[in-house]
Amino acid sequence: MRNGKLTIKSTKFKQVVSNKWLLSLLAATAFSVNFNPVDNFSAFTVIPERFAVSNLPIVMLVFAFVFVSLSQAKKENRTVGNSWKIIVSLLLSLLALLGETVSKTTTLDLLFSSKITFLISLVYWAGCAAFIYCFINFIVFLVHKMLSTQFAVKISKLPFPNAAYLFLILLILWIPLGVYLLPSTIGYDGARQINEFFNVSIPGLNFTYFPTNHHPWFATLVMGGIFKLGLFLFHSHTAAFYTHSFFLVTFSLFAYSGLISRIRRIAGSYVGWLVLLFLGLEPHFVAYAVCFDKTGWFLASSALFVTYLLDLLMLSDKKVRSSVFLTLATLLVCLFRNNGVYVTLVTLLVAFICMKESRRFLGAVLIVSLLFYEGWTRVFLTAFKVMPSSPAEMLVVPIQQTSFVVTRYPNILTKQDKKAINDVMYYRQIPRTYQPSFGDSAKNLFRYNSFLITAESIQDFKKNPNWWKNNIYKQRVHKYLLSWFVTGLKHPLLYLNATLDNQFLSIDPIPVRSFNTADPYGSASIYTGIPSDTYFVINSSYLEHVQPLVPSKQRIGLTNYLNIIMSIPLLNLFMSTALWNWLAISLLIYFIATKNKMGIIFTVPSLLTFLINLDGSVNGDHRYAIPIEIMLLVSLAVIKRNDPKQYLENE
């Protein structure tokens, strides 16, 4: 340990790491490997098929980049064997290897089918790690240069706007895209929540929607209440959607402008301007701010959570007031997303452990938030007979793993296993329904259903509408999980394969995303969905007679703009879910290595969100990355930490 940095003491290892020729060759070789399906795994067949010559220019550029990077590091006497960078490089390279292996084949055959494929995988792992290591050095160098330029110095001296002006500037940046999407966009979730709030009846199915917590009932009350207010004031469905967008945009601008002002105080005006531009120009922030969906409310609440946590731990002397606001923000995150409780309360617990001087306030926030949340879920929702969310919503990974085994390897299951599965899922339908990269497919076969967005799911629910009012379903789910666990111990690679199939875009930023409506790994509905075209099987009268500001056909053109972004190298990485997950992993390892407690605290929620998202239904959907983006802005700002008091007079 030297100067807070971990270093590797092995001389031999450092000699290997510092061998620029070997590492440059490994990196170039790694970028020549392809992951297309292979029929014959003999060495004579695999080698020519796995190495492509079509991307020779990229291979040569990679070789030159790594060689120059390592040469420059040696010239400047920089420590080549810095442990945290090596650990990060090896870990991220492994994630890329696993993601690439299944991305085109949905199997691990390219990794384990023969000795030669395994050797090729090792070469890819080592070479990709060398490239990532050099890329980290390049990014660090680039950021230092960017922050020390004369331009950065001049920008830092400019008067920085206060929160009110930040609110207005963000609004101006949002107008071009926001106007395009008005009065609102809506997809499955929002339409379902309208139906629940207004108890919409479906005569053809003899079914009436009722309160559920499938999507948080609190969010349904807020969204439905605002929608009803718009109906009351303006007597128009279109105006009701405008009303919701007005409240959500206002709430979002308030949250994001407050976050920007705090980041500026800890990292300087130049960083503050960069964050302002990022939040103003990254299209997802404004898109969700005008979307009739719980996600926009959740994102703004997440921004408030890290903002008030910053106040309590670093920026404010008024600890009691900061604690009250932090408690409210914590509850909003928990109530606008069912799994938000795991992110906020664990983060508060980590902060409680790390920050002795703030334990009294953090403990109070933690206890009050937990008590209120438990009271809401166990007392309020029960008293008002709100049906809980299906267990399937928290079991996407086990369901995908089980479906993978049932579809491809049913012979490894015992009769008891099959019975346990059939007690909670429709066993015979699994092979016909299961999709490796779309968790909602098999999840909808769960017998204890709260999905209720298709005629089929509603008819299935009507067979057992009171499943949630007794403990039988809990017993059957428990038996299923026991069977699932035992099978996983026997066949861990099958479970790994199934999990990678479902979320390889969350761990591997290399596959390029698309925003067209046929994209199997994401939805364009937040840009193209309108109340009269909701991708929703069962419409209601509340979605009729809505006049979009921009006609539906013209909205489709927006996806072309987004796809242009996705076709630009490096720029498309910023729209990659995996990139932000990689950044969260890297920063946490860096902060642990440098013993930066504040950095650890503000990176933990991002890492927790990443881990929770691995249990998500849609492979690498960017909505999973947006809360991580918000929270990592603080983590990045902590690296360039200034004395916050020098900016107080400008607030």
Nearest to residue 615, comparing CAs of 393, 391, 436, 424?
A: 393
- pLDDT score for 440: 80
- pLDDT score for 79: 52
- List all residues 6 or more positions away from 302 whose beta carbon is below 8 Å from its beta carbon: 333, 340, 605, 627, 630, 631
Computed on alpha carbons and rounded to an integer, the radius of gyration of the chain in Å comes to 26
- pLDDT score for 318: 87
d(CA 610, CA 448): 27
- pLDDT score for 317: 81
- Residue linked to tokens 């971990």: 6
d(CA 192, CA 108): 38
- pLDDT score for 197: 94
- pLDDT score for 1: 42
Helix (H, G, I), strand (E, B) or coil at 530: strand
Determine the Cα angle at 635 with ends 629 and 640, to 5°. 125
* 275: Cα separation from own chain's centroid: 19
- pLDDT score for 589: 95
* 623: Cα separation from own chain's centroid: 6
The terminus-to-terminus CA distance of the chain in angstroms comes to 40
- pLDDT score for 374: 95
pLDDT in tens, 75-105: 655 554 478 999 999 999 999 999 999 988 8
d(CA 422, CA 408): 17
pLDDT in tens, 406-465: 999 999 999 999 999 999 999 999 999 898 888 888 888 888 888 887 778 888 888 888
- pLDDT score for 565: 62
- List all residues 6 or more positions away from 134 whose beta carbon is below 8 Å from its beta carbon: 27, 65, 66, 69, 70
d(CA 344, CA 609): 10
Q: What is the dihedral of CA 43, 47, 50, 51, to 10 degrees?
A: 170
Helix (H, G, I), strand (E, B) or coil at 538: coil
- pLDDT score for 499: 93
Instruction: Decide: 5 and 593 in contact? Cβ < 8 Å.
Output: yes
Sign of CA dihedral 486, 491, 492, 497: negative
- pLDDT score for 13: 44
- Bridge partner residues of 202 (DSSP): 207
- pLDDT score for 649: 38
Q: Which two tokens stand for residue 608?
A: 């927790």
- pLDDT score for 557: 56
DSSP state letter for 438: B
Instruction: Decide: 173 and 280 in contact? Cβ < 8 Å.
Output: yes
- pLDDT score for 284: 87
Q: Which pTM does this prediction carry?
A: 0.90
Instruction: Decide: 194 and 256 in contact? Cβ < 8 Å.
Output: no
Mean pLDDT by 10 residues, the chain (651 residues): 44 56 88 81 72 81 88 62 86 94 87 86 93 90 84 84 94 91 83 90 86 95 97 94 97 97 91 94 90 94 97 89 96 95 95 93 96 95 93 92 94 94 92 86 85 81 88 93 96 94 89 53 56 51 81 61 62 78 95 92 95 86 88 90 47 38
